[in-house]
Amino acid sequence: MNNSDIAAVVAEEHSIAKAEAKAIVDRVFAALAEAAARGEEVSINGFGKFKVKEAAAREGRNPSTGETIQIAASKKLGFTPAKALKDRLNG
Protein backbone atom coordinates (compact mmCIF):
# COMPACT_ATOMS: atom_id res chain seq x y z
CA MET A 1 0.00 0.00 0.00
CA ASN A 2 1.35 3.44 -0.90
CA ASN A 3 0.27 7.09 -0.43
CA SER A 4 -2.11 6.94 -3.41
CA ASP A 5 -3.77 3.81 -2.07
CA ILE A 6 -4.25 5.43 1.34
CA ALA A 7 -5.63 8.56 -0.34
CA ALA A 8 -8.10 6.44 -2.33
CA VAL A 9 -9.39 4.85 0.89
CA VAL A 10 -9.71 8.27 2.56
CA ALA A 11 -11.50 9.70 -0.50
CA GLU A 12 -13.97 6.83 -0.59
CA GLU A 13 -14.62 6.81 3.17
CA HIS A 14 -15.23 10.58 3.33
CA SER A 15 -16.77 11.18 -0.11
CA ILE A 16 -14.12 13.67 -1.19
CA ALA A 17 -12.05 13.99 -4.36
CA LYS A 18 -8.97 11.78 -4.62
CA ALA A 19 -6.79 14.84 -5.23
CA GLU A 20 -8.03 16.44 -2.00
CA ALA A 21 -7.51 13.21 -0.07
CA LYS A 22 -4.00 12.85 -1.52
CA ALA A 23 -3.16 16.40 -0.39
CA ILE A 24 -4.36 15.56 3.13
CA VAL A 25 -2.44 12.28 3.27
CA ASP A 26 0.72 13.95 1.96
CA ARG A 27 0.40 16.69 4.59
CA VAL A 28 -0.01 14.14 7.39
CA PHE A 29 3.19 12.37 6.33
CA ALA A 30 4.99 15.71 5.95
CA ALA A 31 3.97 16.62 9.53
CA LEU A 32 5.29 13.27 10.77
CA ALA A 33 8.59 13.82 8.95
CA GLU A 34 8.90 17.38 10.30
CA ALA A 35 8.33 16.20 13.87
CA ALA A 36 10.89 13.40 13.45
CA ALA A 37 13.43 15.86 12.01
CA ARG A 38 13.01 17.95 15.17
CA GLY A 39 13.69 14.82 17.26
CA GLU A 40 10.14 14.57 18.58
CA GLU A 41 8.40 11.30 19.32
CA VAL A 42 5.22 10.81 17.29
CA SER A 43 2.55 8.69 18.96
CA ILE A 44 -0.56 7.55 17.06
CA ASN A 45 -3.14 5.92 19.31
CA GLY A 46 -3.89 2.34 18.34
CA PHE A 47 -1.07 2.29 15.78
CA GLY A 48 2.27 2.94 17.46
CA LYS A 49 5.14 5.32 18.14
CA PHE A 50 7.81 6.71 15.86
CA LYS A 51 10.95 7.69 17.76
CA VAL A 52 14.31 9.08 16.63
CA LYS A 53 17.24 7.00 17.86
CA GLU A 54 20.92 7.90 17.83
CA ALA A 55 23.34 5.41 16.27
CA ALA A 56 26.90 5.99 17.51
CA ALA A 57 29.92 6.18 15.22
CA ARG A 58 31.59 2.80 14.82
CA GLU A 59 34.16 0.85 12.86
CA GLY A 60 33.06 -1.39 10.05
CA ARG A 61 34.64 -3.40 7.26
CA ASN A 62 34.49 -2.92 3.52
CA PRO A 63 33.11 -6.30 2.39
CA SER A 64 35.06 -6.36 -0.88
CA THR A 65 38.49 -5.39 0.49
CA GLY A 66 38.22 -6.24 4.18
CA GLU A 67 39.59 -2.76 4.93
CA THR A 68 38.50 -1.14 8.21
CA ILE A 69 36.37 1.96 7.70
CA GLN A 70 34.75 4.53 9.98
CA ILE A 71 30.97 4.65 9.91
CA ALA A 72 29.68 8.08 10.97
CA ALA A 73 27.12 8.60 13.73
CA SER A 74 23.59 8.93 12.42
CA LYS A 75 19.97 9.15 13.43
CA LYS A 76 17.46 6.38 12.77
CA LEU A 77 13.68 6.44 12.88
CA GLY A 78 12.35 3.52 14.90
CA PHE A 79 8.79 2.28 15.12
CA THR A 80 7.16 0.48 18.02
CA PRO A 81 3.70 -0.90 17.27
CA ALA A 82 0.88 -0.31 19.76
CA LYS A 83 -0.64 -3.27 21.59
CA ALA A 84 -3.86 -2.89 19.58
CA LEU A 85 -1.91 -3.22 16.31
CA LYS A 86 0.07 -6.21 17.59
CA ASP A 87 -3.17 -7.90 18.68
CA ARG A 88 -4.71 -7.25 15.25
CA LEU A 89 -1.69 -8.72 13.48
CA ASN A 90 -1.63 -11.83 15.64
CA GLY A 91 -5.34 -12.33 16.26
Domain ranges of the chain: 1-38, 40-91
One digit per residue, the tens of pLDDT, for the chain of length 91 reads: 999 999 999 999 999 999 999 999 999 999 999 999 999 999 999 999 999 999 999 999 999 999 999 999 999 999 999 999 999 999 8
| One-letter amino acid for residue 54 of the chain | E
Q: Which CATH class is domain 40-91?
A: few secondary structures
Q: What is the pTM of this model?
A: 0.76
CA pair distance 91, 87, nearest whole angstrom: 5
pLDDT at 81: 96
pLDDT at 91: 83
